Structure 1
Amino acid sequence: MPYKILFTDIDGTLLDKNRDVSALTISEIQRIKDYVPIVLVSARMPKQMHHIQDKLGVTNQPLICYNGALVIANNKILHNLEIPGNLLERIISYNEQISAEKFHLSLFNNDEWYVEQYDYWAKREENNTRVTPEIKSNIETLEDWKNKNKGAHKITCMGEAHLIEEAFQYFTKEFGNDLHLYRSKDTYIEIAPKQVSKLTGIQKLLDLHFKLSIDDAIAFGDNYNDTEMINAVGHGVAVANARDEVKAVADAITLHHKEDGVAKHIAKLFKD
């Protein structure tokens, strides 16, 4: 086998047009999984990844969640970075008092996902990830987490484009030095601790769990938040639908995620 471990992004990379893993993807991963650990790396929470692990037959493998803010192996937390309560409070305050109109906030910690209302945005995320959020006010969630000395692994802001643009400008000015603000589309902002990246999550897992070098790894990705890991691993692969920035640092470009690009590159690279 040319590489000793495989990391892959999920949405826009591993999943097919039905937002599921195809029969070919399952077959190719199951063919190599006993020799090459398969680790999912995503902005998702852990339980939004479990059903994918189950289909691939890799439920025994670690997970890199929230773009690297939470790394789990053998049901234990290896690495943990949270948005502290004081910053979370200011973000909630902006939405409650400063913004012209409230937008949707999803608050995440490990396998907890809280929303204020089961609205259009919550339903959309539920449809995409197959996990249902719990309903609780942002203020209640904040107070509960403060009492437990917990922060947020991720905050997602969703709403009309003009509200999200205003929030993004405000958050960039107020929190740009402390938080990582990422926009995958004009109606979304994903907020994470500043130090978080998929690459840092991979490096922690390689150092603390697998005892492998980054050069031993292959990784697949498509979006801006995959750029660092694609650039750093021994063999970085961009799917055909990837951002130009990802393709620019990739060692190879495979087919579109809707054309089983990951599975077909595995078939080419890991021959029996």
Structure 2
Amino acid sequence: MIKAILLDIDGTLTNDRKEITPKTREALLAAQEQGVRLMLASGRPAGGLRCYAEELDMYRNHGVFICYNGAQVMDCATGETYFSRPMGAADVRAVLDHMKGFDVWPVLYHGDYIYTTDVFGCALGRDFVPDPYYNIIEYEARSNNYLLCEKGDLAAFADFETSKILVAGEPTYLQAHHEQMAAPFSGKLSSMFTAPFFFEFTARGIDKANAIMCAFERLGIGLRDAMAFGDAQNDTSMLELVGCGVAMGNAVEQTKAVANEVTLSNNEDGIALSLSRHIPGLERFGA
């Protein structure tokens, strides 16, 4: 019996226009009516999840936020924190210093702001995003309700803990250099792709699976009683962990390889289709 549904956001819950499609929304609302708990598991902070939680009525149904790739877990209705493990200030400075040797745009989260070295230079061309010269740092700020601020030397500025460091860049460049970027922190920090143009650092051992185990222990939910949906590299750990891990049709091959099943894409109501197959009473959403 399915008691929890874990949902990545970008490329999974939302379509390519960053919207929850009506059929997927109705299927998830119907699942909650049967007592299933929704959990949004994303690289985003809580501020970037609230609009989707409202749309899915998660506040009334005590949904859960798994933020920053698992560095923070909280009850979305009460704001109670179940788990939090930020990166220490020394690690933050070390990563930011190392990133100076690469052609990337590091992003630091603190308070109401995200900080970077150049808020105007972070534009990708048509090959990687729907609109030409799309500013991916502006997108990160606006979609997560942050203000933007520039700092000439992020490493000198960073004297505080943070849940993650986002490193943005051209996808081809990140693919060619991410191993060098991560190498000095092997065994000390976790790092992963969350989008073709985003590579992220978190505290050691942080991933979505670790956060899910913490949440499930708190809520008394068994791993076999959960479904998880994802599309990216940072979703593989949670798809492997639960009883039914579902990769979206648009998922990367690494994610599809570990999934129990592959559904339709995020633009084709793939979540609704899988729910219709696994939760009695939701069969109508498979039509």
Shorter-chain TM-score bucket reads 0.7 to 0.9
**What's the TM-score once normalised by structure 1's chain length?**
0.85
1:68 equivalent in alignment to 2:70: yes
1:81 aligned to which of 78, 81, 85: 85
The residue type paired with residue 96 of structure 2 is I
* Unaligned runs of at least 5 residues, structure 1: none
The counterpart of 2:162, out of the listed 152, 174, 179, is: 152
The answer to whether the 8 Å contact 1:107/1:113 transfers is yes
Name the CA shift for 1:111/1:44 in 2 (closer, same or farther; >3 Å). Answer: farther
Q: Given the superposition, is the C-alpha separation of residues 62 and 235 from structure 1 closer, same or farther in structure 2, using an over 3 Å criterion?
A: same
Tell me which residue corresponds to 1:91.
95
| SS of residue paired to 1:151 | coil
AA aligned to 2:136 is: W
Summarize the Cα distance change of 1:253–1:160 in structure 2 as closer, same or farther, 3 Å threshold: closer
- Equivalent residues in 2 for 1:257-272, closer than 5 Å: 257-272=266-281
Matched-pair contact (CA < 8 Å) for 1:118–1:135: yes
> What TM-score do the two structures reach when normalised by structure 2?
0.81
How far the C-alpha of 1:186 sits from its partner, in A, is 5.8
Q: Of 142, 148, 151, which residue of structure 2 is paired with 1:137?
A: 151
Aligned match of 2:107: 106
Deviation at 1:152, TM superposition (A): 1.6
Match of 2:255 in 1: 246
Q: For each residue in 1:141-180, what CA deviation from the matched residue of structure 2 results, as whole angstroms up to 9, or x when unmatched?
A: 865x63xxx4121111123468646863443331122122
Shift of 1:75: 0.6
What is the count of residue pairs matched by the alignment? 262
Q: Which amino acid aligns with 2:52?
A: I
Deviations 1:174-204 (A, max 9, x none): 1122122223566432111121110111000
- Taking the aligned partners of 2:110 and 2:214, their CA distance within structure 1 comes to 19
Q: Which runs of 5+ in 2 are unaligned?
A: 121-134, 282-287
Contact conserved, 2:2 with 2:227, CA < 8 A, in 1?
yes
Q: Which residue of 1 aligns with 2:6?
A: 7
Aligned to 2:124: none
Contact persistence 2:108–2:116 (CA under 8 A)? yes
Could you report, residue by residue, the CA deviation over 1:61-92 in whole angstroms, capped at 9, with x for unpaired residues? 12000111111123122111112111211222
Matches within 5 A, 1:201-220: 201-208=211-218, 210-220=219-229
Q: Secondary structure at the match of 2:27?
A: helix
Shift in Å, 1:136: 4.4
Q: Is the 8 A contact 2:92 2:155 kept in 1?
A: no
Q: Distance in 2 between matches of 1:111 and 1:81?
A: 19
Distance 1:265 1:138 in 2: 47
Runs of 4+ in 1 over 4 A off after TM superposition: 109-112, 138-143, 160-167, 184-187
